[in-house]
Amino acid sequence: MSRVAIIGAGIGGLTTAIGLQRRGWDVSVFERSGANSQVGAGLSLFGNGFRALDAVGAGDAVRAIAGPPQRLTTGQRRRDGRWLATTAHSLISELRVVHRADLHRVLTDELEPGTVTYGKEVDGPLDGFDVVVAADGLRSPTRGTAIRYSGYTSWRGVTTRPVDLLGGAGESLGRGERFGLAPLPDGRVYWFGVVSMPAGTPFPDEFAEVRRRFASWHAPIAEVLDATDPAAVVRTDIHDLAKPLPSFVMGSVVLLGDAAHAMTPDLGQGANMAIEDAATLTCVLSTLPIKDAIAAYDEIRRPRTQAVARKARLMGRLLQSRNPLRDVLLRLTPPSVTARQLTALQQWSPPEVTLAA
């Protein structure tokens, strides 16, 4: 039986573990944090993420916590609530927002008990494994390459009770700041505020800063903030990789998820890409000899993930822009352009790999 070590029990590491364990691999996952230590708020999963979850056999378990499709108007609006651009429901019919902690729980439950060793920080080479998957995130010690600050920071939260979104979700845009609203399946609301400022800018009271900036924006933003426990709000400065990597493979070590291609969250695709990576790696490792499989993984995943990372950064720059022309551009973008972009983002199916004769 082939043996794989996976560094990191994030979304990428857990999904890889599920895929390979179901294909008969002996899987060991090492996670430096304790069990159930996942913080965070909501997470958007798109059609591509769900198809990749289906490919490893975890799609239905995740759909069960993701709830039915939403019929809210979504897109971008001004801080007074006037819509600049809306997105056709047909383009995001599979989009669901889940709570991160629920997703982690469901993915962990799909594994055989004891697969993940918690509280184990990997700080050197791992011997005795046929493949090592470094799914150790943005600051991957395995990768070592520098990260760069995007120019904006974020706060994320989830309301403690259901709040009526008054028919609308998506992002509302100010000058160098924006606020996002998304419904969770149980009626609670996942929200995020994003503001351009130097990295690490300190605030004596983080939540007071969020209120100061956003509580006067359109309804129901003030109500959403009122319904949030300030202690559960997460502040994250947004980074991506300083440079695209020339390879996702180092000998028998494979980089996956944010470790390979950390991107800004402006397209809501980082975790979706990690899940696609996991499904692709599972597919090639169950079809090809190990050396060929990891070369194929690199060849298949690098172009797509690096293109998505580039687009995410450009989208972030546009959405954070202080230039009033930004709103004109959003209003005048033809729906066919948005449709093309969203379709390309969500187009994913398992790679077709066959053994050479």
Ligand X SMILES: Cc1cc2nc3c(=O)[nH]c(=O)nc-3n(C[C@H](O)[C@H](O)[C@H](O)COP(=O)(O)OP(=O)(O)OC[C@H]3O[C@@H](n4cnc5c(N)ncnc54)[C@H](O)[C@@H]3O)c2cc1C
| Contacting residues toward ligand X, per CB under 6 A | 7-13, 30-33, 43-44, 121-122, 135-138, 141, 154, 156, 236, 238, 257-259, 265, 268-272, 274
CB of 271 vs ligand X, minimal distance in Å? 3
| Closest-CA residue to 74 (of 89, 60, 63) | 89
CB of 268 vs ligand X, minimal distance in Å? 4
Decide whether 84 or 142 has the Cβ nearer to ligand X.
142
CB of 137 vs ligand X, minimal distance in Å? 3
Q: How far is CA 332 from the centre of its chain?
A: 28
Decide whether 9 or 163 has the Cβ nearer to ligand X.
9
Decide whether 41 or 283 has the Cβ nearer to ligand X.
41
- At 223, which amino acid appears? E
CB of 277 vs ligand X, minimal distance in Å? 8
Q: Which backbone phi and psi does 49 adopt, to 5 degrees?
A: -65, -45
CB of 133 vs ligand X, minimal distance in Å? 10
Decide whether 137 or 174 has the Cβ nearer to ligand X.
137
Decide whether 138 or 330 has the Cβ nearer to ligand X.
138
CB of 248 vs ligand X, minimal distance in Å? 12
Cα–Cα distance for residue pair 185/175, rounded to 1 Å: 31
CB of 324 vs ligand X, minimal distance in Å? 26
CB of 323 vs ligand X, minimal distance in Å? 23
Decide whether 52 or 225 has the Cβ nearer to ligand X.
52
Decide whether 33 or 70 has the Cβ nearer to ligand X.
33
CB of 289 vs ligand X, minimal distance in Å? 26
Contact 53, 146 (CB under 8 A): no
∠ CA 199-146-209 to the nearest 5 degrees?
A: 15
Decide whether 32 or 79 has the Cβ nearer to ligand X.
32
Q: What is the dihedral of CA 18, 24, 26, 30, to 10 degrees?
A: -10
| Closest-CA residue to 52 (of 104, 89, 16) | 16
CB of 61 vs ligand X, minimal distance in Å? 17
Decide whether 25 or 46 has the Cβ nearer to ligand X.
46
Decide whether 241 or 288 has the Cβ nearer to ligand X.
241
